[in-house]
Amino acid sequence: MSEPNAAALDQLGASVSARRRFLRRFLRQRPALYALGFLVLLALGAVFAPWVAPHDPLAQNLDRVLEAPSFDHFFGTDELGRDVASRTLFAARISLLAAFQAVVIALLIGVPPGLVAGLFGGQTDNLIMRITDALMSFPPLILAVAIIAVLGPSLTNAMIAVGILLSPTFLRLMRGTAMAVAQETYVEAARSIGCSQSWIITRHILPNVVSPLFVQISVFAGVAMLAEAGLSFLGLGAQPPDSSWGAMVGRGFRYISHSPSLIVFPGLAIAVTVLAFYVLGDGLRDSLGREVRREQ
């Protein structure tokens, strides 16, 4: 059997073994499992919102404005008599979509140059890092508002701004991880037996930089959701008739003295969902991290 084929079989066996170890460790992380279960239920509720929601989220009833929670309207009604529970459930679609958009944009902008900087170093690394430092020197909120001012207020444009703001962290993570993996013994051994650079990158480096990336994605999904909520609160995110949790808090803030439930329930939805993302990220870190190597 040729060396590349033997190396491929060894790599496949190691990959299967690593996945089993990860699954075994992750199943011990009870808080992370609960967080994952909550996020799955939330996603399912958002997908099936038209069949699960008790009322039409856009249906107005001016005879039942700013009502307190009741059996008919579990979270009360807003300033136009719309059911807050239904709007909160439908708003989960917008908030989750916003977090997904921001993370994908940050990955597309940050990961490729981070890998290039970490693997090739030299002047390429210096140029990429100086551009990154310049981007990070801008105040985040001012930069986000400036980007939205150029592109126009909308959910997608707001998430482009958030993705740009998050991309330097992904870039730095990929750069540092790629540099560390490139110095590992097994990478040096692969070079010593004549494996090509492309083989080393695809078979040894990329599989080992994905693990910390998953952890960062989970954490930054929560960060992106908070950023979207803040921008929507200011009126720069989701635009009517669409509504996110942040937009609901922004509109409900005007009626906080008459109907606190308008901000309590969407605010709790933001807090619990962001906490779930953070807890899931902690569980992934503990399951994938190199410091966790105790076999039971």
CA distance 88 to 245: 7
pLDDT at 10 over 70: no
CA distance 221 to 144: 17
pLDDT at residue 3, as a whole number: 45
CA distance 195 to 285: 31
pLDDT digits (tens, 9 = 90+) for 181-240: 877 777 777 777 777 777 777 777 777 777 788 888 988 899 999 888 888 888 888 787
CA distance 113 to 228: 25
| Single-letter code of the amino acid located at 63 | D
CA-CA distances (angstroms) from residue 279 to 42, 68, 220, 244, 286? 15, 32, 12, 22, 11
Sole residue written with tokens 């993996």: 181
pTM: 0.83
Q: Count Cβ neighbours within 10 Å for each residue of 138-151 and write b for 16 or more, e otherwise.
A: eeeeebbbebbeee
Q: Tokens in use for 178?
A: 């790629």
pLDDT at residue 15, as a whole number: 53
In the chain, domain spans: 22-288
pLDDT at residue 18, as a whole number: 64
The reply to whether CATH 2.102.10.10 applies to domain 22-288 is no
pLDDT digits (tens, 9 = 90+) for 150-177: 888 888 888 888 899 889 989 998 888 8
CA distance 131 to 15: 35
Cα atoms in the Cβ-side hemisphere of radius 13 Å centred on 225: 29
Contact of 165 with 101, CB cutoff 8 Å: no
Of residues 185 and 52, more confidence is placed in: 52
Contact of 237 with 251, CB cutoff 8 Å: no
Cα atoms in the Cβ-side hemisphere of radius 13 Å centred on 149: 6
Q: Tokens in use for 18?
A: 């690593």
Contact of 230 with 244, CB cutoff 8 Å: no
Residues forming a β-bridge with 77: 83
pLDDT digits (tens, 9 = 90+) for 107-140: 999 988 988 888 787 888 899 998 888 888 888 7
> Which residues have a Cβ under 8 Å from the Cβ of 67 and sit 6 or more positions away?
73, 76, 77, 81, 259
Of residues 281 and 22, more confidence is placed in: 281
